[in-house]
Structure 1
Amino acid sequence: MMCADDHLSCFLVMGIIRHIFEDRHQVVAVVGGSVAEYTAFETYTDYGIFDCDQHIYEPVDCYTGWIEKKYADRTLRIVQRDGEELFMAQDRQIQLDNKVDECYRPGSLKEMLKSMKAGADQGGYQWMTMDPAFLDRDLRLAQMDRQHVDAAVLFSGSMGLFAEHFLTDDDVYWASSWAYLRWMEEVWGFGAEGRIFTSPTISMRDVTKACEQLDWLFARGCKAISICPGPAYGRSPGDPHFDPFWARIEEAGAVVCYHINEAMPGYKASRSGMWGQEEDPTFYTQSAWQWAWAYGDQPAMETFSALIYDNVFGRFPNLRILSAEHGAEWVPGLLTKMDKMRGMGRNGRWIGGQLAERPSTTFKRNFRVVPYWEDDLTSVLEATGTDVVIGGSDFPHSEGLAFPTQLVDHLGMLSHEQQRFVMRDNAMQLFGLV
């Protein structure tokens, strides 16, 4: 799960740590009388993996420390007021129940659900003090060594996901976006060493400005970029209007990542309003209907089908798409529906021209999907084969796995060779490392 109070594992209050202590091997969080251990060195494979869904956390000055002075009091920022820390975007206060020096313990949601299933009294997610390795590139590389992670795609953990939605002033937005990119380059880099592939978010609100950012990123070795799912400011992202954008990505050989996030601005509000739903709920006050039809895999499926139906891959056949943290159980149904509706819509408008092949064929070749550990992967694999499924842990978020290699425990239907392909080799091919 993610938020716009978004995938802010460190920004959502659901549990209380009573004691935290560290020793050489582990961090132990004592929550409501129960003890849960985070052992940072446990591994489940005999090979190093390529994890396609990990996260960083940002310091509070990741915008203000790198932005032009005239925008510093309008960008995303933390301000102190009456002894409180307030999260601000332009003149708007964003409600966050957090302390920026703490985060949820990796994998604690899974353990909470297991405890609840067993009838244990579990108060909520488990907190821990922020691990320095979640904030520092060199420490993270050392942590990856201990965890048997050879390489990883690192997505923003919090503030890097907000700008698209909360900064409505275009000048403030683009200044803030550039500030974040400069921060990311200095602190994390973009993957030139072949291990940490950060995936900065690029907006499609202005194709010329977006292309300028792509040129800057690719000149610095960036191998992955992220885009919010959903329509692109009144257009399909597959509209030929965006061809200069897609052309640059294909030429650079970069991977396009769609990580779970709030869809493009206005998506949830317009859809919710038509159904009598609250138009701008916080993450945890979304209705069940909004969880099902205005968030998560729903905008992702609409986006992926638009890219295919609008023939983006006919014009740019080497584009590669990575879907992260949308799960994978939706894939078989989407493949069937896309193929069927291609026939139903044969007399309709085709923005990029008629397709030369079945949509499902395009999807299987150009898309890779990170499943949830709890997904029914047998049915997914029956529909797609192993080529589409790619490993990711969501580390260090609470919703993911405590140990990145642990996903292999949920791949028992596969041979050892197939497991290795999902956990490592598929991503190595995706990023051109083999």
Structure 2
Amino acid sequence: MTDSPDRLPYLAVDVDNHYYEPVDAFTRHLPKEFKRRGVQMVADGKRTLAMMGEKVNHFIPNPTFDPIIEPGCLDLLFRGEIPDGVDPASLMKVDRLSEHPEYQNRDARVTVLDRQRLETVFMLPTFACGVEEGLKHDIEATMASVHAFNLWLDEDWGYDRPDGRIVSAPIIALADPEKAVEEVEFVLGRGAKLVLVRPAPVPGVVKPRSLGDPSHDPVWARLAEAGVPVGFHLSDSGYLAISALWGGKATFEGFGKRDPLDNVLLDDRAIHDTMASLIVHQVFTRHPTLKVVSIENGSYFVYRLIKRLKKAANNAPYHFKQDPVEQLRTHVWIAPYYEDDVKLLADTIGVDKILFGSDWPHGEGLADPTTFTADIPQFPEFSHDDTRKVMRDNALELLGDPQRTAPGARHLVSV
């Protein structure tokens, strides 16, 4: 451990914070003509069900988020450190949503950030990570629903607040390329500093498309021009279709008992394929200033991807105008899981491309965000400057805010 959280001589920047959406996040601004085609919340006795395209969707089994899981209570499960004889289900602990206004209220969240010694956080969705997959067969409804969500997000959390504490990331759905460009212009006009794109093949009317399909170039070009990075956060990427080929379920059900084969087959396959599509289909060659960041996808996909990119370049050197592995190291930032080998990742892509993300307040994240430092190697293997890069400076460089990375920079909150 380089520094204990209470001794960090600076405030950290956490790239993986979440809110819990209210039930009207997708409906508050949804046009009436999409009421049935988009997201609906339907009462079923004492339960509330999420309907997407008039079908019940189980990505989030309780879309009211009440009760809600306690932050970090599944830590031992995800570290693989559950004591013998302990039922993993016993680790699940819940609380009332009403006890935690910071999960849905910006001002309350800022107060918590002060206590957690976080200067800035990237604020990301929970329920919304499953909506594009639920609506993928209706492109019009997808685009209308995402726009409605982005209106809600700006209204409740804000894209561009003067205090700079919360960087809320709107969603850009690529299913309709023309409307995607309109949405990019809309969120940039409201001050977005980061956008989210689903790590998945892009649904199409005729067939799915690669993220590297030239039809998406206007989106990448505009974001590159604006210096706004693209985040790829763990989502329902539709990859359970692969599990279904092996006799498993084709749809995601949050917190349900799953066949362990699903994890073996899928794991980080979606983010691996996402980055492969961007690199192999030459997105960074055409848009050399575009920046992307992988959040809550772990880091072990990087090593498999590098091996396969090298092989592809050897087999088809005529295809690659630039070294694909160098493109990965130049354009891609990674927020590893806290249990990942941070030193191995630094040796592979460089410490400048590693970010700190806690996944707070999710149960599989860290109960205290800056305890992430406990999983960073000790000095001298990792210097104090390297730890600061991971915990703060790299994220600010990603956002194009280098003035806050200098050792003597003024912080927004007193340390």
Structure with the higher fraction of residues in strand conformation:
1
CA contact (8 A) 2:291 2:331 kept: yes
In the alignment, residue 168 of structure 2 is paired with which amino acid? T
Cα pair distance change 1:239/1:171, threshold 3 Å: closer
Where does residue 288 of structure 2 map in the other structure? 317
CA contact (8 A) 1:207 1:242 kept: yes
Q: Which one of the candidate residues 130, 133, 139 is aligned to 1:170?
A: 139
Distance across 1 between alignment mates of 2:30 and 2:315: 50
Distance across 1 between alignment mates of 2:228 and 2:65: 32
Residue 335 of structure 1 pairs with residue 301 of structure 2: no
Shift of 1:111: 4.6
In the alignment, residue 344 of structure 1 is paired with which amino acid? N
Residue 287 of structure 1 pairs with residue 250 of structure 2: no
Pairing 1:245-256 to 2, within 5 Å after superposition: 245-256=219-230
The alignment partner of 1:117 has SS state of: coil
Q: Which moved more, 1:126-135 or 1:189-198?
A: 189-198
Distance across 2 between alignment mates of 1:114 and 1:275: 26
Where does residue 71 of structure 2 map in the other structure? 106
TM-score when normalising by structure 1: 0.82
Structure 2 unaligned blocks of 5 or more: 403-415
Name the Cα RMSD after superposition: 2.2
The alignment partner of 1:369 has SS state of: strand
Where does residue 202 of structure 2 map in the other structure? 232
Where does residue 128 of structure 1 map in the other structure? 95
In the alignment, residue 310 of structure 1 is paired with which amino acid? H
CA contact (8 A) 1:57 1:157 kept: yes
Pairing 1:29-428 to 2, within 5 Å after superposition: 43=6, 45-95=8-58, 97-98=61-62, 100-111=65-76, 116-117=82-83, 123-130=90-97, 131-158=100-127, 160-167=128-135, 168-193=137-162, 194-233=164-203, 234-263=208-237, 265=238, 267-269=239-241, 271-280=242-251, 282-283=253-254, 284-294=256-266, 296-346=267-317, 350=319, 354-356=320-322, 358-413=323-378, 414-428=382-396
CA contact (8 A) 1:44 1:406 kept: no
Distance across 2 between alignment mates of 1:408 and 1:372: 12
Shift of 1:161: 1.8
CA contact (8 A) 2:130 2:235 kept: no
TM-score when normalising by structure 2: 0.86
Deviations 1:379-411 (A, max 9, x none): 222222212211111111111111111111111
Structure 1 unaligned blocks of 5 or more: 1-41
Distance across 1 between alignment mates of 2:265 and 2:231: 21
Q: Which moved more, 1:114-123 or 1:299-308?
A: 114-123
In the alignment, residue 273 of structure 2 is paired with which amino acid? E
CA contact (8 A) 1:43 1:403 kept: no
The alignment partner of 1:51 has SS state of: strand
Q: Which moved more, 1:201-210 or 1:332-341?
A: 332-341
Where does residue 24 of structure 1 map in the other structure? none
The alignment partner of 2:352 has SS state of: coil
Cα pair distance change 1:97/1:244, threshold 3 Å: closer
Percent identical residues: 31
Q: Provide the aligned length of Structure 1 versus Structure 2.
A: 382
